[in-house]
Structure 1
Amino acid sequence: MASFSRSYINLSFLVVAMVMAMAADRVRGRFQPSPWSLAHATFYGDEGASETMGGACGYGNLFGTGYGTDTAALSTTLFNNGYGCGTCYQIRCYGSPHCYRGSPFTTVTATNLCPPNWFQDSNNGGWCNPPRVHFDMSKPAFMQIADWKAGIVPVMYRRVPCLRDGGIRFQFQGNWYWLLVYVMNVGGGGDIASMWVKGCHTDWISMSHNWGAAYQAFASLGGQSLSFKITSYSTQETVIAWNAAPSNWYVGMTYEANVNFN
């Protein structure tokens, strides 16, 4: 009887600890996977994924910026005017004879926009026409789940946390009076809702969303070390990258901060 009581107490403590951990995740804004949903997927480019470099999010060379070939262009609905940039999805082929056996899934990062094609029917060529949810994957990513000869396959997908090595990266463009920043390697939800910059001689300055993963500030920031404050679109969690760029920063450089979302 005593042994049963101890086991019951230990189990109770375990359950309480799990509930507290889940509550802590919510408090911290940690991103949780979404339920599985249905969509379709195609691919673009070749096996080397050279055509997928660049893209509407502004990540440039995806090998150099750490995204590689496990990427996808999102239909307008998912792209969300650029706020979908950097989000991560698990995708598996579903219900097609072209699906690989065992229904393997691959995880991709959104790096591009699949634009509408209003000259084609949404079910016959206009795959990315709203309100369709569609993934135009790199060919290497598509080939992980289905035979590429299929062209298009039905898929199941879900949002998942983005697991990133290192901190958030800021690539600078513009000049000392107009700072344009491409934000990369964002963990957690992977997305950005709002962003601020602070020079060592200024207060926090709100940055406007330019396009994709790019934010801009019209301010005189030359010769100042710069800090950034970023809020996630998915979780509303905010992180601050203090002194992310030194006072001698210049455009064309990428600076990495020692912070990231969970």
Structure 2
Amino acid sequence: MSHSLFTLTILFFTLSSFVTSHSPSSLSSSSSSFSYSQPQPSSSSPLISEWQSAHATYYAASDPRDAVGGACGYGDLIKVGYGQATVGLSEVLYERGQICGACFEVRCVDDLKWCIPGTSIIVTATNFCAPNYGFTSEGGGHCNPPNKHFVLPIEVFEKIAIWKAGNMPVQYRRINCRREGGIRFTVTGSGIFISVLISNVAGHGDLIAVKVKGSRTGWLPMGRNWGQNWHVNALLQNQPLSFEITSSDGKTVTSYNVAPKDWSFGQTFEGKQFDT
């Protein structure tokens, strides 16, 4: 991969964290080391779409501790359990953030020189690869519409292709996600503004609706703030919180009294999980 292409890839991609995975018991742990932890598809999953054509490039972070962020709002991916097996998507695939949390299987095709035969990777959508209209979609604007483009950490890219391949033809398909443990709800905000980051979602992985309920309220619809951050203006302190979430396939999971009465901002709670 040429130096100029690598530089362009960095400019197009809002970096997210590509770090080690964790078990549900280590929600507050941290690490600066890199390891590859690939999520697994559900063997009973009904969601396996047809293979479609796209392209993929890669990026390499100089220091994983400097690569915390991402357009889906997950922040430090070690704390939400996604590890390095993550991907930034071009505008056509990103769906204004609704796709965040979904899983894709990606394989290298049509290049006997650079592809690693018989391999594929499974990655979670955690970021957005922004268009760069200073270039045409064929001449460097890899993430410009109508291109379907994946930006991968180099450690993941090298599972399916030699790094020198550069802008690599690939095929991809949506699959169900299988996660360890329950769905996680990280509550932040201040006063009556409540924001909840929802992560570790199995099944389709992406959400279309979220509701919250206190012991003294009915079910309150939450709005999508950005990515998988959802918000509501309500006085919910000093009452246990329940959540109802709906994924893109229309399935709903309700977790009652996930947060105790004495919950506080900045805490993460674990609820029920979608069957896979």
TM-score (ref. length: structure 1): 0.84
Give the alignment of 1:160-239 within 5 angstroms. Answer: 160-233=175-248, 235-239=249-253
Query: How far, CA to CA, are the matches of 2:246 and 2:54 in structure 1?
Result: 28
Q: Distance in 1 between matches of 2:111 and 2:67?
A: 25
2-structure distance, mates of 1:96, 1:52 = 31
Residues in 1 aligned to 2:145 and 2:180: alpha-carbon distance in whole angstroms: 34
Aligned residues: 232
How far apart, in 1, do the equivalents of 2:232 and 2:210 lie? 10
Q: CA RMSD in A?
A: 1.6
Correspondence for 1:140 = 155
Runs of 5+ consecutive residues of structure 1 not aligned to the other structure: 1-29
| Cα deviation, residue 103, structure 1 | 3.3
- Name the structure with the higher helix share: 1
2:83 paired residue number:
68
Contact 2:258 2:269 in 1 (8 A): yes
- Report the TM-score when normalising by structure 2: 0.80
**How far did residue 143 of structure 1 move?**
0.9
Residues 170-179 or 223-232, more deviating? 170-179
**Unpaired runs of at least 5, structure 2:** 1-44
Q: 1:51 to 1:159 in 2, by over 3 A?
A: farther
Question: Highest CA radius of gyration, 1 or 2?
Answer: 1
CA distance in 1, matches of 2:254, 2:86: 27
Whether the 8 Å CA contact 1:98–1:146 is kept in 2: the answer is no
User: 2:92 matched to which residue of 1?
Assistant: 77
In the alignment, is the contact (CA less than 8 A) between 1:48 and 1:140 conserved in 2? no
Match of 1:241 in 2: 255
Distance 1:237 1:169 in 2: 17
Task: Say whether the 8 Å CA contact 2:223–2:232 is kept in structure 1.
Answer: yes
Q: Given that residues 109 and 115 in structure 2 are in contact (C-alpha distance below 8 angstroms), is that contact kept between their aligned partners in structure 1? A: no
Q: What is the distance in 2 between the residues matched to 1:72 and 1:50?
A: 18
2:264 aligned with 1:250, yes or no? yes
- Identical columns (%): 42
Question: Structure 1's 85 and 141: CA in aligned 2 closer, same or farther, altered over 3 A?
Answer: same
Quick one: distance in 2 between partners of 1:226 and 1:40? 43
Give the Cα separation in 2 of the matches to 1:260 and 1:77: 27
